[in-house]
Amino acid sequence: MKATLAPPSSLISLPRHKVSSLRSPSLLLQSQRRSSALMTTTASRGSVAVTAATTSSAEAPREGIAEFYNETSGLWEEIWGDHMHHGFYDPDSSVQLSDSGHREAQIRMIEESLRFAGVTEEEKKIKIVVDVGCGIGGSSRYIASKFGAECIGITLSPVQAKRANDLATAQSLSHKVSFQVADALDQPFEDGIFDLVWSMESGEHMPDKAKFVKELVRVTAPGGRIIIVTWCHRNLSQGEESLQPWEQNLLDRICKTFYLPAWCSTTDYVELLQSLSLQDIKYADWSENVAPFWPAVIRTALTWKGLVSLLRSGMKSIKGALTMPLMIEGYKKGVIKFGIITCQKPL
Ligand code: SAH
């Protein structure tokens, strides 16, 4: 079934009528354009971590990421729906599997992120959005409906892009949203186009955080806003050069299954944004608010339906399920932090 979902080409390009309906027709692919050289940050701790992120994985495991999501997205959608991200809960809340609380918590994650970034007050300004690492397009469709905006999603997974476009058509949103396979580190868009640059839980996959941030900034319109919601490791203390070996070991085990390169901290992101003179930089640790999420995912995997679907879905899904307890351990021990970082590009 998965194979039939995969489109023949590695790139699903935007239908022409959608491109021309966008504010800037120059959104057309520029496959020859390359991002410029790696950025460095002057802050000492930031530069340690960012350098680690840039050198530990010279080549992004793009094929691995694409295959992972090609294989696992159907299962996720079957059980959890079209949002492939954590839910946002009140701290210490208990949500039953049977109720709609988790779906609501995932929508709330989008709403809280927009609110934190102050986007709700700017609704009229949000005309065109890029959803970087879009999954099957849950955020794009939600944001497009909320703001009446145009939204373009990019993912490495052809299966996800196809499914996201199909869902947009089924929901009569295909005039507003579209999805394609493209690399977040080399986006097929011209400079300064998007009013909102949205990255919901994709940053953790980026092997070069500096290049990632620089690319987000490049495509943002002057006065536009960037929202990055991502898995981070804890901030290093004064004088600490790296995580403790046991902490690194825990993250390494998670990296293998979820196709993640080296992690960085929220502070590293903030320092990268500061080094690019972004404005109104805000960040928060939402680890407490996402705490109920992984236990709930594990409980769904252990239901009869979950187990059967898991077995049908394949080894990547099974390995993913077996890695989930490590995420809980990481949060409990304070190694993993769920961070939101937002800023505005100067006019
Ligand atoms: N934001 C979505 C999906 C999160 S899953 C949601 O909230 O539902 C992570 C997503 O990041 C996947 O779609 C994956 O394909 C994408 N991704 C990872 N690395 C990427 C890269 N280099 N370029 C584009 N997308 C990437």
Query: Does residue 187 line the site of ligand 1, with CB under 6 A?
Result: no
DSSP 8-state code for residue 125 = G
Ligand 1 atom closest to residue 83's alpha carbon, by position in its atom list: 8
Question: What ranges in the chain are assigned the alpha helix state H?
Answer: 2-5, 16-21, 44-55, 62-80, 101-116, 138-147, 158-170, 209-219, 245-258, 266-275, 287-290, 293-301, 304-313, 315-332
Confidence of residue 103 (pLDDT cuts 50, 70, 90): confident
**164-191, pLDDT tens digit by residue?**
999 999 999 999 999 999 999 999 999 9
Query: Does residue 164 line the site of ligand 1, with CB under 6 A?
Result: no
- Mean pLDDT value across the chain: 82
From atom 17 of ligand 1, which residue's Cα is the shortest distance away?
133
* Ligand 1: centre distance to CA 133 (Å): 3
From atom 13 of ligand 1, which residue's Cα is the shortest distance away?
135
Q: Which of 9-23, 111-125, 136-150 has the highest mean pLDDT?
A: 136-150
Query: Does residue 43 line the site of ligand 1, with CB under 6 A?
Result: no
* Ligand 1: centre distance to CA 240 (Å): 31
Q: Global pTM?
A: 0.84
Query: What pLDDT is stored for residue 2 in this prediction?
Result: 27
Query: Does residue 200 line the site of ligand 1, with CB under 6 A?
Result: yes
Please, are residues 158 and 66 in contact by the beta-carbon 8 Å criterion?
yes
Q: By CB neighbour count within 10 A (0-12 exposed, 13-18 middle, 19+ buried), where does 146 fall?
A: middle
Confidence of residue 284 (pLDDT cuts 50, 70, 90): very high
Using DSSP, state whether 213 is helix, strand or coil: helix
Query: Does residue 45 line the site of ligand 1, with CB under 6 A?
Result: no
Query: Does residue 77 line the site of ligand 1, with CB under 6 A?
Result: no
**40-56, pLDDT tens digit by residue?**
222 333 333 343 333 33
Query: What pLDDT is stored for residue 208 in this prediction?
Result: 95
**289-322, pLDDT tens digit by residue?**
998 888 888 888 778 777 777 777 777 778 878 8
Q: List, as one string, the DSSP characters of 128-165.
A: EEEEES-TTSHHHHHHHHHHT-EEEEEES-HHHHHHHH
More reliable by pLDDT, 243 or 13: 243
Instruction: Give the residue-averaged pLDDT of 257-273.
Output: 94
Among 78-82, 317-321, 326-330, 333-337, the least confident range: 317-321
* Ligand 1: centre distance to CA 134 (Å): 5
**216-259, pLDDT tens digit by residue?**
999 999 999 999 999 999 999 999 999 999 999 999 999 988 89
| Strand 150-155 with 177-181, pairing | parallel
